[in-house]
Amino acid sequence: MTATPDSASTGDDRPVVVIGAGPVGLAAAAHLAARGLEPLVLEAGPAAGSAVREWSHVRLFSTWGEVVDPAAEKLLAPTGWVRPDAAAYPTGGDWAERYLQPLADVLGDRVRYGATVTGVARAGRDRLVDLGRDEQPFTVHVRFADGHEERITARAVVDASGTWSAPAPLGADGLPALGERAAAGRLAYRVPDLGDPAVRARHAGRRTAVVGSGASAFTALALLADLAKEEARTHAVWVLRRGIGAHTYGGGDADRLPSRGALGLRAEAAVAAGHASAVTGFRTQAVEREGDRLVLVAQDGRRLDPWTRSSSSPGSGPTSPSSPSSGSASTSACRPRPPWPRSSTPTCTPAAPSARTAPPRSPTPSRASTWSA
């Protein structure tokens, strides 16, 4: 960013459009403003950190000191904002309320809510015209919550739309498994909020499959293990595409982020205590319905049936307890395990990314999901 001329020196007063008012988009806007560039943040949701608010019940494994951007802190300082204790761990809700929203408020009308970016292209250049493409500004197509649409001309575009809205599917080849879309209403792609009575009831005394080996999968395993101590017959079936090796549980005590390491250790303890049983080498090919139940089917033909004990390949953990007599299904998507960003410091640059006409998509899909039955 340091090589980027500011608006005054170029006479170009078109904004740099930032897609998304999450931690990265807002930090990008703070950096742009610090360099005399005019950011315009377009956020699909109704508030700053709309994606982060979706998992407000989850505590970060990063400290406040790691998730507050220095340029953002400078922008906030004149308002009297004081960073919370650098060594403390915020929840997603804390992060959004105590940092992201105040930051967006300082940016004022440079943040627009209910503004979904539906496409980005070079102005006046259709898909077939290459000539002069690089000299054209960007045109950003936006649809607002009230239904009206706008076209915004931008000198550059920073895509900070995140990955939350495009979780990785269950399918082993990175695309939805057969039947996964049809079962969507019974799958959830997030860490369950067991503080919510309805969500708790969905998992209490039932078997939940947790698919994936990222930090969110570990969080789900740890939460379900805690629930199992209170609610008999609660059990997690942990579905892994690979086997269990030295690095499966992350860095443990040696992790650069101690709280992240602790999550892996809690997941390991859940398996050791028998609250979760691992099913390894399970590459999901299909999600089938059996009555009102869902069954995961692997490419090798194994069936993860909630009513019978799942067959386990070598390396599996302890066996699961008997199955419950009733249940419903849900799946949750979780974030990939390392590498996590050290902080929310953006890697954005006003140098324009390649133009595209499709809606922004997540470059790094999530990897884990939970399923209960």
Ligand X SMILES: Cc1cc2nc3c(=O)[nH]c(=O)nc-3n(C[C@H](O)[C@H](O)[C@H](O)COP(=O)(O)OP(=O)(O)OC[C@H]3O[C@@H](n4cnc5c(N)ncnc54)[C@H](O)[C@@H]3O)c2cc1C
Whether residue 270 contacts residue 224, with contact meaning beta carbons closer than 8 Å, is answered with yes
Residue 168 Cβ vs ligand X, minimum distance, rounded to whole Å = 12
Q: Give the one residue of 23, 167, 250, 317 binding ligand X; rule: CB under 6 A.
A: 23
Of 10-18, 48-56, 150-158, 244-252, which segment contacts ligand X by CB under 6 A? 48-56
Nearest to 155 by CA among 41, 29, 24, 12: 12
Q: Give the one residue of 29, 30, 37, 58 binding ligand X; rule: CB under 6 A.
A: 58
234 is a contact residue toward ligand X (CB under 6 A)? no
294 is a contact residue toward ligand X (CB under 6 A)? no
Residue 343 Cβ vs ligand X, minimum distance, rounded to whole Å = 7
**121-130 as b/e: b if 16+ CB within 10 A:** bbeebeeeee
214 token code pair: 């990222």
Site size with ligand X, rule: CB under 6 A: 34
- Dist CA 62 CA 50 (whole Å): 19
Q: Give the one residue of 206, 275, 335, 367 binding ligand X; rule: CB under 6 A.
A: 335
96 is a contact residue toward ligand X (CB under 6 A)? no
Q: Give the one residue of 17, 29, 30, 52 binding ligand X; rule: CB under 6 A.
A: 52
**Closer of 43 and 268 to ligand X (Cβ):** 43
21 is a contact residue toward ligand X (CB under 6 A)? yes
CB < 8 Å & 24+ apart, contacts of 123-129: 123/153, 125/355, 127/357
Question: In whole angstroms, what separates CA 12 from the centre of its chain?
Answer: 35
165 is a contact residue toward ligand X (CB under 6 A)? yes
210 is a contact residue toward ligand X (CB under 6 A)? no
- Dist CA 365 CA 75 (whole Å): 31
Task: Give the CA count within 13 Å in the CB-facing half-sphere of 277.
Answer: 19
Backbone angles phi, psi at 110, to 5 degrees: -85, 0
22 is a contact residue toward ligand X (CB under 6 A)? yes
**Closer of 52 and 223 to ligand X (Cβ):** 52
Q: Where are the beta strands (DSSP E) in the chain?
A: 16-19, 39-42, 111-112, 115-122, 138-144, 149-154, 156-159, 207-211, 235-239, 276-279, 284-290, 293-298, 303-304, 369-372
51 is a contact residue toward ligand X (CB under 6 A)? yes
Residue 117 Cβ vs ligand X, minimum distance, rounded to whole Å = 4
Interface positions with ligand X (CB under 6 A): 19-25, 42-45, 50-52, 55, 58, 60-62, 67, 116-117, 160-162, 164-165, 191, 216, 335, 340-341, 359-360
